[in-house]
Structure 1
Amino acid sequence: MLRQYELVERVKAYAPDADEQMLNRAYVYTVQKHGSQKRASGDPYFSHPVEVAGLMTELKLDQDTIITALLHDTVEDTLATIDEVEKLFGPDVARMVDGVTKLSKIEAMSEKERAAENLRKFLLAMSEDLRVLLVKLADRLHNMRTLHYIKSEDKRRRIAKETMDIYAPLAERVGMYEYMREMQLLAFQQLEPEAYATITGRLAQIRSQDHGQVDAIALSISQALTEAGVKCKVWGREKHPYSIWRKMAERHVNFDQITDIMAFRVLVGNVEDCYRAIGVLHTTWQALPGRFKDYISTPKVNGYQSLHTSMIYEKAMRMEVQIRTWDMHETNEYGLAAHWSYKQGGVVPDTQVGWLRDLVEVLEASNDPEELLENTRMAIYQDRIFAFTPKGKLFQLPKGATPIDFAYAVHSDLGSMAVGAKLNGRHVPLRTALSNGDVVEIIKNRSASPQLAWLGFCVTGKARAAIRRAVRIKERSELAAIGRKLFDEIIERLPTKVGKKATAEAVKRLGLKNEDELMAAIGTAKLDDRQVMEALVPGSARDLPEPEAWPKQERAISIKGLTPGMAFHLAECCHPVPGDRIVGLRKPGVGVEVHSIACDVLIEGGDHDWIDLSWGDRSVGAVGRLRCILYNRPGTLAEVTGIFAANKANITQLQNVHRDELFGTYEVDLEVTDLAHLTRIVSSLRASDAVSQADRL
């Protein structure tokens, strides 16, 4: 742990004008307030904020940020108050401490309403002062470094998942790749311990058998560039273990099939040397088609700049090379923090905060906790493509984005009025996926409105939130109209005429806010005729028969978005499980067929009505289907069924669909709790020596 004088010396080293007395006072304040509190490791609790402040000094952040780091847990975990902090350390520090205190509450992820509300506060505080996010990221990083001291496995996994879902993507979005990589590694170790052990073991094995090959390749690159007059520094590094695991999962390959385990980084003096270097490398070694990316002329949304290429080295070995200047390297590793350092004066490029404006729009448009969490996660994840308006304005969007996503990125009103699109001058369907460099023209109609079916193919949180809000408003209007019609029929059956006063009294008796809410409740069948009649004229429904109860859905799975009692079944074509994004197809005489959003049946289209659905609280008995290709030798099937048993998955059907001398192909239906459960099973299968290939169908 940093001592008081060491922390002050660190700050004074890059900020000679910093207020030494104020820094000392903040250090003493946090030690006194946390007093005898202990961490899970047994260390004094104040060691944590001191270490977080130490991380801030490594980024050369300003004095107020260092003090905020020292005090960030005092209001939440001690008797300190925001007013006291403001009196002692000023309004800026008090505001940031308050922001970080609100951020800390997001960690109660088990209660979705609370998690969503605190996520809302998180994003708003971050949008007001991005230094709040820097302190929170350092706080989370230090907590992850000491996570192994927590005895409860469930708590460790919850914190690790939250880090993987929220904080690591946020670190990436502000360009702090060093923080992102370490968070992902530590979270990966907790969430997938077997995969972590396997991959790190294989990497250690490669290092032991390397015999200086990586250094030799780095030297070859350096010599080629030096001979061409390009001054540079070159070094090789292993791919991140989590990055390797994700690539194995996405490409459905095993470790031995990953050909670019090692990557090389080239640092040069200026931008011109970056392009000279790429020319030298491409004329010395064969470049792989489609693997060159220029993030210098078109930076990522978080400000990341670099040239990326992949080439064939000797003996058909692939090597990935990144080329950048020294300034780019500093910004790429520490992103937003690099711009907040003393030497930069806290000037942050607009490209790094523009995405926050989209997040604030998502906050305003999201209706319920699940929707907010989903849309926010979609907004902060990062794989990007670049598309242009006809006038040349650049927009960055997630991979898989469509013209609808592009329209909402330009302006919410343009998205709402979209009726068609042109890509590079050619008319295309609105569901068409955009490619890098596309010029997108949106065809609009002022009388148009967003369609529910768009949710089946749009991918940005901003677009989905806006579409859902527009559809909700439209549905609410339609349901209110239905409710008004039913209300008029109800009052005709009453023994006496009723007016506005009786209606207002009925609203009060039913505990509703206003007449519009009453009409919506009637239209959605939340209130039956008897309840409305009794509320309008007490005693008027005494002789009416009791209404029939809704038929109970005799299922272990519940679906949100269906009218009570509506029959549904999970589609056999795609076998959706909780965690998949789902929609319903309303089919006459059959009920609602629930499909995964990626199902080919949806892609092919049809005349059936789409219903936007989500999973309910009950999720027992969902069936996922896998295809497993096993080596044709004794015991392989037994080993695979053992994997199912170890992962607590019940086999409902197992079929051998093909068999030859070397392999046997099986399709198996498994009862699983959710998508994460099914994904863990697939990962376990791929790690087994008995399995050649395992995929979800």
Structure 2
Amino acid sequence: MVDTTNPILKDCKNDNSKLKIWVKSLTDDLLKQRLILTACNFAKKFHKSDIDHLIKVTDILAQLGMNTDVLIAGILHDIVETQPTLLDEIEQRFGSKVSQLVDGVDKMKFIEELNDNKHKVIHNKVDTERLRNMLLAMAEDVRVILIKLADRLDNMRALRDHNVEKQRRIARETLDLFAPLANRLGMWQIKWELEDWSLRYLEPENYKEIAQFLDERRVDREKYIQQVLDKLLLALDNAGIKAELSGRPKHIYSIWRKMKKKGLDFQEVFDVRAVRVIVNTIPECYATLRIVHQQWQPLPTEFDDYISNPKPNNYQSLHTAVIGPDKKIFEVQIRTDEMHNHAEFGVASHWRYKEGDSEYNDNFEQRLAGLRHILQWNDEDGDVNDFLEQFKSDMFDENVYVLSPQGQVIDLPQGSKPLDFAYALHSKLGHRCNGVKVNNKKVPLNYSLKSGDVVNILTIKEESPKRYWLTQPDHLKTKEARDSIRNWFKKQDNKQHILDGRQLLDCLLQCLNIQNYKIDNLAEQLNIDSVNELLAAIGRGEIAMKRIADTFKQEINLTPYVDIEVIADDKIGLLGEISEMFSQENINILATNTKTNKTENRAYLKYELEVNNITELTGILLKIDNLDCVVKVWRNK
């Protein structure tokens, strides 16, 4: 494998003179040089003066063209692992952007923790895909991912110093998680090196065999490619096309993968011989393609137009394979300089050589928004149509990725609540839920989960789901959780369902101030055979209260203006809480009257409301009735 480490950093260690030479190679700006050196000296305090790894990570970021903030974050990226309070000092010394990047990278360390021998999270493609999605979903700034990838790349370069077991574990994780992530972000340079290093430790014999074949035939291959380049350059000059031509390096992992997938010997992998042509414009790309096909016979099955149909990670290029001299097949890639820049550096290309807020633009933000969906396309060799279908289905329902205390990753729809998480793990866990902790802090059941949250469901011994979980719109998001709760109530004793249904119906009749109502009339209107079956269905949660209220239209002759009364325990903020409910339901308050009885500690409230229909009235009455402090609420005739 070609060593791509910056030669300035060879044995740099703590040599301050070499360190200064390296910093000068990054930028001519004296102020930025001082900032980077200051960051190096700051990092030395927490690394026993050895910051070799941090410098190499930062050099990778510099090769990607990252700006000064990112370079400084690269130097400081792992010093807060055991000292979180350092973030404040980092912000004071180097600014909020640097501290946010460092904090983001520190949060990414959970990947290694999840994949250690204790948790063994990565079992299959689904688990790996969840981790990749979670990683990007947690990164508020995509440059956090770039720093993490640079960190992993330097770790892979230094992996030879570790034992075989660790080499294989980290190589497997890299090939499963980080290399595909680099690919999704279009970072080809980092992707191929991560893949080659991984293969070196996972398939050492195959790796050595292919490397030896490449080395033995290198001189002949280079001579052959130069012959092709000379002929093509002359043809392009005659056509008035200025182009940059080069032999394209073929990487060991991609050769091994093609041999394995197609059952080929090394000699049969024709794109070991490859040429890259970089021109100025898209029309020149197609003109060059025509010239290539005029010079050598093309293989029709080996042509791909990724300019008209870019890959999901926005990669663009023309690919063709032709029969060259001596009837040997070689591959040609044709692209513009802009396409080449994106192909080499992916999303990093949008920050290259830019400083400050100017590094963002609306078009780029829109492209980044699609990256989370792109990550869900797992098969690199799958049909593009498969990806598009996946993209369409996920476009309007982005997921969040949360963890159990044991490190299991669960993906849920955006806006999911702790109960959704509990039922996703196991229905019995949901039934026994009695509270929740998120990131070791107690939160209410209507807390909206975020990617990266560690969720611990607090339980009681007996299964006891609550009916109000179904009626409160901010307690559940997923249909699966709702169905589990409804199914639980269906299985309970029918007598209890009837009692519960009677209680709920009586509450509704009281709220609407309907008296002397014959329940068998309601059963008949709803096409239910008996009163007990009706009450049991209400008790099981199969019939919504608003649906029942709709049947009372004849009993009430509702007007646009309705009086309601509330009796409640007197408490501070009661009026504001009820008024907020009216506001949330878009119900207009025409008049209000309030009295309190300090002896009884009771509040007596009267409201004149403007409502559109009985369904709207029922909804607000039931919502008020669900308040713990409310003793009674009803519609006044």
Asked if 1:9 is matched to 2:24, the reply is yes
Structure 2 Cα separation of the partners of residues 235 and 24 of structure 1: 37
Query: Aligned letter for 1:102?
Result: K
Choose the corresponding residue for 2:462, options 510, 530, 535: 510
Asked if 1:304 is matched to 2:315, the reply is yes
Asked if 1:87 is matched to 2:92, the reply is yes
Would the alpha carbon gap of residues 407 and 336 (structure 1) be closer, same or farther in structure 2, given more than 3 Å must change?
closer
Structure 2 Cα separation of the partners of residues 158 and 412 of structure 1: 34
Structure 1 residues not aligned, in runs of 5+: 37-43, 360-375, 388-396, 414-463, 485-506, 533-697
Structure 2 Cα separation of the partners of residues 292 and 319 of structure 1: 12
Would the alpha carbon gap of residues 204 and 327 (structure 1) be closer, same or farther in structure 2, given more than 3 Å must change?
same
Residue 84 of structure 1: SS of its match in structure 2? helix
TM-score by length of 1: 0.52
> Contact 1:300 / 1:384 at 8 angstroms: preserved in 2?
no
Which protein has greater RCO, CA pairs closer than 8 Å, 6+ apart? 2
**Alignment-derived partner of residue 174 in structure 2:** 163
**Alignment-derived partner of residue 260 in structure 2:** 249
> Contact 1:49 / 1:70 at 8 angstroms: preserved in 2?
yes
**Alignment-derived partner of residue 313 in structure 1:** 324
Where in structure 2 are the equivalents of 1:152-301 lying within 5 Å?
152-210=163-221, 212-301=223-312
**Alignment-derived partner of residue 355 in structure 1:** 370
Structure 1 Cα separation of the partners of residues 254 and 135 of structure 2: 27
Choose the corresponding residue for 1:408, options 393, 400, 423: 393
Q: 1:233-267: per-residue Cα shift (whole Å, max 9, x none)?
A: 22223421111111112112232332332111012
Where in structure 2 are the equivalents of 1:434-473 lying within 5 Å?
none
Query: Aligned letter for 1:136?
Result: K
Query: Aligned letter for 2:41?
Result: V
Choose the corresponding residue for 1:102, options 100, 107, 110: 107
Residue 27 of structure 2: SS of its match in structure 1? helix
Residue 230 of structure 2: SS of its match in structure 1? helix
Asked if 1:34 is matched to 2:39, the reply is no
Query: Aligned letter for 1:29?
Result: F
Structure 2 Cα separation of the partners of residues 519 and 50 of structure 1: 54
How many percent of aligned residue pairs carry the same amino acid? 33
> Contact 2:153 / 2:190 at 8 angstroms: preserved in 1?
yes
Choose the corresponding residue for 2:153, options 136, 141, 166: 141
Residue 377 of structure 2: SS of its match in structure 1? helix
**Alignment-derived partner of residue 50 in structure 1:** 55
> Contact 1:61 / 1:342 at 8 angstroms: preserved in 2?
yes
Q: 1:202-226: per-residue Cα shift (whole Å, max 9, x none)?
A: 1122225548222112222222222
Question: How much does 1:196 deviate?
Answer: 0.4
Question: How much does 1:268 deviate?
Answer: 1.7
**Alignment-derived partner of residue 124 in structure 1:** 137
Q: 1:545-578: per-residue Cα shift (whole Å, max 9, x none)?
A: xxxxxxxxxxxxxxxxxxxxxxxxxxxxxxxxxx
> Contact 2:282 / 2:336 at 8 angstroms: preserved in 1?
yes
Q: 1:641-685: per-residue Cα shift (whole Å, max 9, x none)?
A: xxxxxxxxxxxxxxxxxxxxxxxxxxxxxxxxxxxxxxxxxxxxx
**Alignment-derived partner of residue 73 in structure 1:** 78
Would the alpha carbon gap of residues 381 and 61 (structure 1) be closer, same or farther in structure 2, given more than 3 Å must change?
farther
Paired residue total: 408
> Contact 1:53 / 1:70 at 8 angstroms: preserved in 2?
yes
Would the alpha carbon gap of residues 238 and 510 (structure 1) be closer, same or farther in structure 2, given more than 3 Å must change?
same
**Alignment-derived partner of residue 687 in structure 1:** none
Query: Aligned letter for 1:358?
Result: H
**Alignment-derived partner of residue 444 in structure 1:** none
> Contact 1:33 / 1:79 at 8 angstroms: preserved in 2?
no
**Alignment-derived partner of residue 379 in structure 1:** 377
Residue 76 of structure 1: SS of its match in structure 2? coil
Query: Aligned letter for 2:20?
Result: Y
Where in structure 2 are the equivalents of 1:596-675 lying within 5 Å?
none
Would the alpha carbon gap of residues 131 and 509 (structure 1) be closer, same or farther in structure 2, given more than 3 Å must change?
closer
Asked if 1:59 is matched to 2:59, the reply is no
Q: 1:576-609: per-residue Cα shift (whole Å, max 9, x none)?
A: xxxxxxxxxxxxxxxxxxxxxxxxxxxxxxxxxx
RMSD: 3.9
Question: How much does 1:193 deviate?
Answer: 0.6
Structure 1 Cα separation of the partners of residues 307 and 208 of structure 2: 36
**Greater share of residues in helix:** 2
Question: How much does 1:11 deviate?
Answer: 3.6
Structure 2 Cα separation of the partners of residues 351 and 83 of structure 1: 32
Question: How much does 1:102 deviate?
Answer: 1.4
Question: How much does 1:176 deviate?
Answer: 1.3
> Contact 2:67 / 2:354 at 8 angstroms: preserved in 1?
no
Question: How much does 1:129 deviate?
Answer: 0.5
Structure 2 Cα separation of the partners of residues 250 and 156 of structure 1: 25
Residue 270 of structure 2: SS of its match in structure 1? coil
Question: How much does 1:200 deviate?
Answer: 0.9
Query: Aligned letter for 2:154?
Result: H
Structure 2 residues not aligned, in runs of 5+: 1-8, 13-17, 399-410, 432-458, 470-480, 497-637
> Contact 1:102 / 1:122 at 8 angstroms: preserved in 2?
no
Would the alpha carbon gap of residues 522 and 206 (structure 1) be closer, same or farther in structure 2, given more than 3 Å must change?
same
Structure 2 Cα separation of the partners of residues 293 and 285 of structure 1: 17
